[in-house]
Amino acid sequence: MRSMRIALVLAAAALTTACELKEVSLTEPERVVVAEAYVRVNLGPGLGIQPGPNISVFLHETLSITGGSKAVPGAQIVITRPSDGLRIPLEASVLGDCVIVTPAGQTGTCYAPRAGTPGLQSLAPSDRLDLRIDLAGGGVMTSETVVPGTFALLNVADAATCVLDPLTASDIVWSRSAGAWAYISDTFIHGLAASFDADQVEDPLYLFGLSVSSQDTAIVFPREFGLFARADLDFEVSAMLQKGLPTDATATVSVAAVDRNWVNWARGGIFNPSGVVRVPSVRGDGTGVFASTVVRSFRVAATSNPTAKKCPPAPAVAP
């Protein structure tokens, strides 16, 4: 009995020790600069998107223990084309030139070329470009990208408007782009609010589609756009988009060939074309991505106008 009492005392002491809380001090993580640099070459008129090349470099710090990030001012940034020595310097610009929104408590510094920079409009598909970032604190970050090759829309013209019967789909097909690792198709759809309550859908509604193979060069509009947003869309809106657009709705559609760096960096939610871990392409005193895309755009209008150019029909859906 005495030995049992001793065992119980020892067990109680062990439990007390195991539950003892120790004070832990959290230290601020090391400051790391993240660069998100993109070169976009728009083929054709661009449909309201800035024509020709568009370049932006967004510098920010990794999140602090409070969840915030800081600006990174004073950097010297140059993009170089080695084939002819073209140098495109970037300067501090407004955040809207780099990002649409930033979460609360987070910010950064946007850099972009000055309008009219010599040689900017000469950037083209298949160009090899080098990036160098000299940070104000003395660090250096470098990277390179090869812009995907040119490609063509095979069943609709650049910047043209094709007509789609209401609640029907259209097949979008394009040729392959040399060096592309994937294709991103996105759209802004206008006019949905006329068919739904204001709290059911955003107007315009932004959706995108993904072709994760360099050989996958077709997508059905609008059925295969917004696959990653289905959980966030109102059921009635999602069901309608599986058929087509409502009468008098319009859409701007873009197809972009993206390079390896873009694919390796893109990750979020269930959208993981590069796997579950981002693969950076920026080296040196920081991390991040330097990626490039080539883009073509056109318009779609949902109407029964018999004289307008028709959008190409979608393939039949198996019953």
CA distance 213 to 216: 5
Q: By C-alpha distance, which of 14, 96, 23, 4 is closest to 54?
A: 96
CB atoms within 10 A of CB 152: 13
CA distance 256 to 109: 26
**Which residues lie below 8 Å from residue 295, measured CB to CB, with a gap of 6+?**
40, 41, 42, 43, 46, 49, 254, 255, 256, 257
Per-residue HEC secondary structure of 206-242 comes to EEEEEECCCCCCEEEECCCCCHHHCCCCCHHHHHHHC
The per-residue pLDDT for range 175-222, each reduced to its tens digit, is 999 999 999 999 999 999 888 887 788 888 999 887 777 788 999 999
Residue keyed to tokens 């590069």: 274
**Which residues lie below 8 Å from residue 34, measured CB to CB, with a gap of 6+?**
59, 60, 61, 62, 286, 287, 288
pTM for the predicted model, two decimal places: 0.82
- pLDDT at residue 209, rounded to an integer: 84
Q: By C-alpha distance, which of 168, 147, 202 is closest to 310?
A: 168
User: Tokens for 9?
Assistant: 């005392």
CB atoms within 10 A of CB 76: 14
CA distance 33 to 63: 10
CA distance 295 to 183: 10
The per-residue pLDDT for range 80-129, each reduced to its tens digit, is 999 999 999 999 999 888 887 666 667 899 999 998 899 999 999 999 99
Per the CB < 8 A criterion, the answer to whether 73 and 40 are in contact is: no
The per-residue pLDDT for range 120-177, each reduced to its tens digit, is 999 999 999 999 999 998 999 999 999 999 999 998 888 888 999 999 999 999 999 9
CA distance 110 to 99: 8
Per the CB < 8 A criterion, the answer to whether 210 and 182 are in contact is: yes
